[in-house]
Amino acid sequence: MKFHSMKREKAIEAIKELPKEFELEQLMEKLVFVEKVEQGLTQLKDKKTTPHNKVKEIVKKW
């Protein structure tokens, strides 16, 4: 799994959303989720997305 850089503020924000006590796995899952959302938003901004009709074609091949 390739990780990208994340701003400290984003990580702190994600930690604050967790309960006062949590498993390390929960934190890792939350941070990976935040990273993936950020990647998706960047791809959207950079117009590096796949049109819906193309996705439907891809899914049919599964």
What is the tens place of the pLDDT at every residue in 5-58? 778 998 999 999 999 999 999 999 999 999 999 999 999 999 999 999 999 999
Instruction: Show the tokens assigned to 17.
Output: 């959303």
Q: What's the pTM value of the predicted model, to 2 decimals?
A: 0.70
Report the C-alpha gap between 22 and 31 in whole angstroms.
Answer: 13
AA identity, residue 27: L
What dihedral do alpha carbons 50, 51, 56, 57 form, nearest 10°? -80
- Residue pair 34/15 in contact (Cβ under 8 Å)? The answer is no
- Residue pair 39/4 in contact (Cβ under 8 Å)? The answer is yes
Predicted local confidence at residue 20, as pLDDT: 95
The DSSP code for 21 is S
